[in-house]
């Protein structure tokens, strides 16, 4: 079994896009990453929810092979909730309301059966919590973390400490420039490398993704889609797909490039539905078909794992 730990938020989202509206659907960084990862592996989730979190949603996540023993339920509390909307270009989420609720008391303590986790994805949470999680996993093989402008603005010093304890940073163009003050993206990414940090995975939305190392850059174009409904969680789905591949295949350079492609494919399914509606319906045949189409459009590496079949969910 893969020893992949995914830590972050499980939330209720209410949103509006040009493609429609949804109220109180499953959201959150850990949820999107976990569902994406479940296409390949069984992962472990670390998060917190309130007493209002529906049992059927817990059943859905556990039914994906996700270990929920690290999801704390606070009966008297309410689940983290976000509401917002997207304009026609779907490029930026406009927040209307954010209720942290039980996230205010999330202590990020790992249950004993998580302490042997070898691969870690830290979703977009307080960098103090990211550091606390990493401190509990001194024998980890590979850890990646995500962040956002809120933490760069208000918690930059501790965020830089957390980044230095990770092996890979997921970040987008604007956040990377904000964090480093460097407009050139390769130089900005490489200015952060050192210590444990070896790679920056640059999330570029409809322009795909870059994986930047000290002496290398790998590129994965986005899969062209005519039916994008909701970009919420696309970056987390990309990270979940990426880390699921790494947890199975390792961190050699060719496998990291393959992970970049696989994460891109996972994100392409995510944006075709609201929340995780589309990802939850993806079959191994869907993944293989999309990869074959992607390969015809690009110089994508051979993902030989597909020839062996992907995990049946």
Query: Is 0.75 topped by the overall pTM?
Result: yes
pLDDT at 312 over 60: no
- Domain limits, the chain: 4-308
At 307, which helix (H) or strand (E)? Answer: none
pLDDT at 308: 52
Contacting residues for 11 by C-beta, under 8 A, at least 6 apart:
26, 27, 28, 31, 79, 80, 81, 82
HSE-CB at 272 with a 13 A cutoff on CA atoms is 15
Residue 159, exposed/middle/buried by CB under 10 A (0-12, 13-18, 19+)? buried
In this prediction, residue 92 has a pLDDT band, given cuts at 50, 70 and 90, of confident
In this prediction, residue 89 has a pLDDT band, given cuts at 50, 70 and 90, of confident
Over residues 11-54, the pLDDT tens digits come to 999 999 999 999 999 999 999 999 999 999 999 999 999 999 99
Residue located via tokens 């940090």: 197
pLDDT at 139: 96
Looking at the chain, the whole-number percentage of residues with pLDDT higher than 90 is 88
Least confident among 60-64, 89-93, 246-250: 89-93
**What are the structure tokens assigned to 150, written together?**
């809120």
Over residues 266-298, the pLDDT tens digits come to 999 999 999 999 999 998 899 999 999 998 888
pLDDT at 301 over 80: no
Does CATH place domain 4-308 in 3.40.50.2300? Answer: no
Question: Closest Cα to residue 172, out of 202, 209, 150?
Answer: 202
């Amino acid at each position: 079994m893969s020893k992949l730990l995914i830590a972050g938020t499980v939330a209720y989202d209410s949103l509006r896009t040009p493609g429609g509206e949804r109220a109180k659907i499953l959201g959150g960084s850990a949820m999107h990453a976990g569902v994406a990862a479940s296409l390949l592996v069984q992962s472990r989730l670390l998060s917190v929810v309130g007493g209002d979190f529906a049992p059927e949603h817990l059943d859905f996540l556990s039914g994906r092979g996700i270990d929920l023993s690290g999801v704390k339920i606070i009966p008297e509390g309410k689940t983290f909730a976000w509401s917002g909307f997207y304009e026609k270009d779907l490029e930026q989420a406009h927040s209307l309301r954010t209720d942290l609720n039980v996230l205010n008391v999330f202590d990020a303590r790992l249950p004993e059966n998580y302490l042997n986790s070898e691969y870690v994805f830290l979703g977009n949470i307080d960098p103090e919590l990211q550091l606390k999680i990493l401190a509990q996993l001194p024998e980890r093989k590979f850890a990646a973390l995500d962040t956002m402008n809120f933490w760069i603005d208000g918690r930059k010093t501790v965020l830089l400490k957390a980044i230095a304890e990770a092996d890979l940073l997921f970040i987008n163009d604007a956040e990377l420039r904000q964090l480093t003050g460097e407009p050139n993206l390769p130089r900005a990414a490489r200015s952060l490398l050192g210590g444990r940090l070896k790679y920056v995975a640059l999330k570029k939305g409809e322009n795909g993704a870059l994986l930047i190392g000290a002496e290398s850059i790998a590129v994965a174009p986005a899969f062209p889609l005519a039916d994008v409904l909701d970009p919420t969680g696309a970056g987390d789905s990309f990270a979940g797909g990426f880390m699921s591949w790494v947890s199975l295949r390792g961190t050699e350079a060719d496998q990291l490039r393959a992970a970049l492609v696989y994460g891109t494919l996972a994100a392409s399914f995510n944006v075709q539905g609201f929340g995780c509606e589309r990802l939850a319906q993806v079959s191994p045949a869907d993944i293989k078909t999309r990869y074959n189409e992607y390969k015809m459009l690009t110089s994508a590496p051979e993902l030989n794992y597909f020839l062996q079949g992907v995990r049946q969910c």
